Every structure is written in C-alpha cells, then in structure tokens.
Amino acid sequence: MKHLPRVLIVEDEPAIAELIQVNLKHGGFTPVLAYDSVAAQRELDAELPDVILLDWMLPGQSGLSLARHWRKQERTKGIPILMLTARGDEPDKVAGLDAGADDYITKPFSTQELLARIRAVLRRRAPETQGDSVTVGGLTLDAATHRIAWQGQELRLGPTEFKLLHYLLKHPERVHSRASLLDKVWGDHVFIEERTVDVHVKRLREALGTAGAMVETVRGAGYRLTGILAKTPAAATSPEP
C-alpha cells in the first residue's frame, strides 16, 4: 500500500482545523488533528508525522515555543514545520523561521498553496538520490550515507541545511544569489520568500561550527562557499614570532 504522508495539524480553531483536514485528505495526505500543545505532544509521542502544520497562537504553550522545543529534541528535530498564522509582518515571519519553522504561511491562505508548500517541504526532506561524496577544504559530505564531517569530526544538520550545503559544496567559490539558491535547493521558490535563505544559512553556519566561516556573505550579491578559512582577527593582528 502506498504511504500517504502523515500531517500533524496543530490548530486550536476547530473550523479551520477541520477544513485543513478535509483538504489534506483529498490531497493525498493522512491528517491528524491536535487542538493544543498537550495533544500535539501526545500525537508526536505516539507516531512521528512527516510534516507539522503549526499554528502560532495556541492556548497554553505557543506554536513558536513548541517549534523551538521540537527543534532541540533529537527525535523531532528533522520534521519539517510549516507555521500557520495571521501575523504577516516581516519581524513575525523572521521570528517564526528563527524558531525552527521551515516555511511560514499567512492566514488566510488558499488550499492549493498550502498543499504545494507541504509537497515542497517533503521533497526537500527526501534524501539525496545521488550517491556522491564531495570535499572542500576539510569539509566532507557523503550523500549516500547522509553524513557530514569537518576535519574528521561528524556534524549533524537538518534536512534543508544538508541540501543547502550539498549544493554549495558542489559549486564552491561561486557567488549564489538568494533567488538562485531558492530555485536550486528549494525548487518551488514562487512560494518561499528570499529571507528564508538567510535563516537557513544562519542555521547552517551554526551547525558547522568553526567550518561555518567557509560560508561567506557577499554583500549585495548572495552567498559563496570557499575552501579557505579566513584568519580570525586575533590571528591576523598577532605579531610575527
């Protein structure tokens, strides 16, 4: 039997939740409803979904707080989260993305857009089909085993950061605009704002630790991965022995 992606809908307004549920069923998904944070955690403990649709404004613990919590847990850190909210200002979108959301959907939204965004995050979560290994500097990515290592030390990345790094490693020393990264890494860039790229680059740098300096910002142009780590200010200014 074909696997129907399981979608956890965390939404406290029953009318909206049930409308999403019906549309997801017709769209080829298996929807599961939770009306608050307690019910959502209970569903996650019972069975992991493929995607989480998470409302920002929830009774008790907010969706923003839940996203941060799930991103810190080993069991749930890789599940794509789409934040649903009526808060459409840029600072709110940035806060949602910084909390760990993979995408941000402002209410009201069309059913077709919602389904398209869910399919997009599922495609991004899918492992790389190419079994190649690529190394730049001391950073190595093996797509077949889905592993990344920096100077022999294994690192852990989320699914979107993995795909972003894979693309950058395969095209080193080139400057990539945000629009081109959305097109090559995300695919359905028509639905995703360029600010999303900045948030995921920030997450990628944090996950890479020392190697994060290899991902350079080219002001006014985009991002570039270089195999040469820049000297730290202390090292650059220290006197010769």
How do residues 156-197 score in pLDDT, each as one tens digit? 888 888 889 999 998 999 999 998 888 788 765 446 677 888
Is the separation of the CB atoms in 55 and 109 below 8 Å? Answer: no
What pLDDT score does 23 carry?
Answer: 92
3-state DSSP assignment of residue 4: coil
pLDDT at 191: 60
Nearest CA to 48 among 78, 85, 20, 19? 78
- Report the share of the chain in percent with pLDDT over 70: 86
Give pLDDT, residue 10: 94
Where, residue-wise, is CATH 3.40.50.2300 in the chain? 6-125
> What is the predicted pLDDT for the residue at 103?
83
Per the listing, tokens 């079994």 go with 131
- Give the pLDDT confidence score for residue 155 in this predicted structure: 92
Backbone φ, ψ for residue 189 (5° rounding) = -65, -15
Q: Which two tokens stand for residue 187?
A: 């695919």
Measured CA to CA, the distance from residue 101 to residue 173 in angstroms comes to 29
**Low-confidence residues in the chain, pLDDT < 50:** 1, 127-130, 189-190, 231-241
CATH 1.10.10.10 domain residues, the chain: 133-225
CATH architecture of 133-225: Orthogonal Bundle (1.10)
Residue pair 167/215 in contact (Cβ under 8 Å)? The answer is no
DSSP 3-state of 130:
coil
User: Which tokens go with 124?
Assistant: 């991004």
Classify domain 6-125 at the CATH class level.
Answer: alpha beta
**Per the structure block, which two tokens stand in for 68?**
């941060």
Structure confidence at residue 240 (pLDDT): 38
Alpha carbons 148 and 92: distance in angstroms, whole number: 32
State the pTM of this model: 0.56
Give the pLDDT confidence score for residue 192 in this predicted structure: 67
